[in-house]
Amino acid sequence: MESVAQGRRGEGMRKGSVAIWIAMVISLAAPPTRAQSVRSLVNGGNDLYNDQKYTDAEVNYRKALEKEKELVQGHFNLGNALHKEGKYGDAVREFDIAREKAAAPETRAHAWYNIGNSLMQEQKYQEAVDAYIKSLQTNPYDQEAKYNLSYALEKLKQQQQQQKQQNKNQDKKNQKQNQDQKNQDQKQKQDQQKQDQKKQDQQQNPQQNQAQQQEKKMSRADAERILGVLENNEKEVQKKLRVRQAVRPKTEKDW
């Protein structure tokens, strides 16, 4: 299962059934001139769609719907063109309008099938599963719908497993971030307590701090005083030596 089966209803553009059926409905529901104009727009849109000119086909279908708003096939085929353009949300809305307005159960089943295909492209697997189930409730023998339902269930399971793993990884990441934040808060709290204690100690022992500062000053003064005393003593010693040298007696010769 590598891709979603589009099938005849996923494309919804078989001229032999869809386009001719459109012409028949319009010819019964609208005046001939108007019906021909709408039919021409729809058929032109179908040709453009088959030529893979999806944007131009969209323009034709919208013009047809401006003339005939209740045109089920116009909404249905517009949904197909939007799907091909990658406008999956808009496509779902058009298919849903076609489903609501459709009288035939088969058309409603086809619309649900196409809704499922567009939802699959948006990776809305649970909603796609629901759409395929509703299609099969109307037409239980549709093999393409069964195939796509099986594929959608497989993708849904994978998505749920991935989401579970992502949630698990996110939980681990959140736990680590919470623990890191707690550690940071605890460190800030401890640092603040140390600062508060230091301030408190300084406030409780101002005299001791002053005494310590005074002791430092006195110690320096004492050192200077002692140095001065030593210098004075040195000067005194030098002075005495000079005096002694000056009064030393002469030595008599021994004749």
Q: What CATH number should be reported for the domain whose range is 7-159?
A: 1.25.40.10
Q: What per-residue confidence (pLDDT) applies to 217?
A: 62
| Percent with pLDDT over 70 in the chain | 75
One-letter identity of residue 255: W
Q: What are phi and psi of 205, to 5 degrees?
A: -125, 55
Q: What per-residue confidence (pLDDT) applies to 212?
A: 63
Q: What per-residue confidence (pLDDT) applies to 247?
A: 55
Lowest mean pLDDT: which of 102-106, 139-143, 175-179?
175-179
What rounded mean pLDDT belongs to the chain? Answer: 81
Angle at alpha carbon of residue 113, lines to 62 and 40, rounded to 5°? 30
pLDDT digits (tens, 9 = 90+) for 52-102: 999 999 999 999 999 999 999 999 999 999 999 999 999 999 999 999 999
**Domain limits, the chain:** 7-159
> 44-48, long-range: CB within 8 Å, 24+ apart, which pairs?
45/77, 45/81, 46/13, 46/15, 46/18, 46/19, 46/77
Burial of 153 (C-beta count, 10 Å sphere; 0-12/13-18/19+): middle
Q: Let me know how long the chain is.
A: 255
Q: What per-residue confidence (pLDDT) applies to 26?
A: 36
Q: Region 206-212: what's the mean pLDDT?
A: 63
Lowest mean pLDDT: which of 40-44, 127-131, 153-157, 182-186?
182-186
- Per-residue pLDDT at 159 exceeds 70: yes
